Amino acid sequence: MTSNPYSAHARHYVSVDCVIFSYENDELKVLLYPRSFEPYVGKWSLLGGFVENDETLGDAARRVLFNTTGLRNIYQEQVHAFSDINRDPAGRVISVAYYALIRISQQDNVLVKEHGACWWPISELPELVFDHAKMVERSLLRLQKKAGSELIGKELLGDTFTITNLKKLYEAIFQHDIDAGNFRKKILSLAVLHNTGIKDKSESKKGAFLYRYTNHLEDQMSLSPIVK
């Protein structure tokens, strides 16, 4: 350890903090928990953990995700590394933010409750510890960029969904209304969804067709934006 060529340099605690998004009741939500240890016991925090010697940043984020939701193979993306010297008053910690997309119905409720974690609507977040508010803000921007340039939905909705479900998800992500007719045409023109022929009558009397992703084409990028 001390004989390695880099030993003259400082070493740092490195952590990951996960902005875990889900979608419920027409709202985009973020998983938060009341911090159980000093500093800031009781204040709301993202779910995070330290990076150990045998894992990458991505591994650590997956571990945090598994420990708190019971889920594996979750879509996640690195957002940004935060390194202000006093971002954590208890010690110098460099933290890398990740965002993840999960279906709220798939989580392990017991585990989530064990941590005292709660889902907060993105538009009504409480005050967060450290720089976690910045992490959420950047993550939302990244999610918007992603959703604007390719069709997302698989991760946050079920396997099948109506165009209206998808429209409401996009409205929740972009926090503004979208024209229903234009959205429908745009989405279908991408030719990545396939009509199952099954009608979902849970949201309207007429019923709306359920669609499913055609997986034979890998997620197709749309050159022109889906939503601005």
Partner DNA sequence: ACAAAAGTGTTTAGATTACACCCATGA
Partner DNA sequence: TCATGGGTGTAATCTAAACACTTTTGT
Q: How far is the CB of 227 from DNA (least distance, A)?
A: 8
Residue 212 lies near DNA (rule: CB under 7 A): no
Q: How far is the CB of 211 from a copy of itself (least distance, A)?
A: 28
User: Helix 132-149 to helix 163-174 angle, to the nearest 10 degrees?
Assistant: 140
Asked if omega into 39 is within 30° of 0 (cis), the reply is yes
Residue 91 lies near a copy of itself (rule: CB under 8 A): yes
Q: Which of 38, 124, 127, 218 binds a copy of itself (CB under 8 A)?
A: 38
The torsion angles phi and psi of 46, rounded to 5 degrees, stand at -70, 165
CA distance 14 to 37: 18
Residue 195 CA neighbour count, 13 Å, CB half: 9
Q: Which of 81, 180, 191, 198 binds DNA (CB under 7 A)?
A: 180
- Site size toward DNA (CB under 7 A) is 21
Q: Is 181 exposed, middle or buried (0-12, 13-18, 19+ CB in 10 A)?
A: exposed
Residue 78 lies near a copy of itself (rule: CB under 8 A): yes
> What letters, b where the CB count within 10 A reaches 16 and e where it falls short, cover 126-141?
eebbbbbeebbebbbe
For residue 106, is it left (φ>0), alpha (ψ between -120 and 50) or beta?
alpha
Residue 111 lies near DNA (rule: CB under 7 A): no
Residue 164 lies near DNA (rule: CB under 7 A): yes
Residue 158 lies near a copy of itself (rule: CB under 8 A): no
Q: How far is the CB of 77 from a copy of itself (least distance, A)?
A: 10
Q: Which of 118, 186, 212, 213 binds DNA (CB under 7 A)?
A: 186
Residue 184 lies near DNA (rule: CB under 7 A): yes
CA distance 101 to 227: 19
CA distance 70 to 111: 7
Residue 2 lies near a copy of itself (rule: CB under 8 A): no
Among 11, 22, 83, 84, residue whose Cα is nearest residue 47: 22
From DNA, a copy of itself, none, interface partner of 5 (C-beta below 5 to 8 A by class): a copy of itself
- If the CB atoms of residues 179 and 219 are measured against DNA, the closer one turns out to be 179
From a copy of itself, DNA, none, interface partner of 12 (C-beta below 5 to 8 A by class): a copy of itself
From DNA, a copy of itself, none, interface partner of 209 (C-beta below 5 to 8 A by class): DNA
Q: How far is the CB of 130 from a copy of itself (least distance, A)?
A: 13
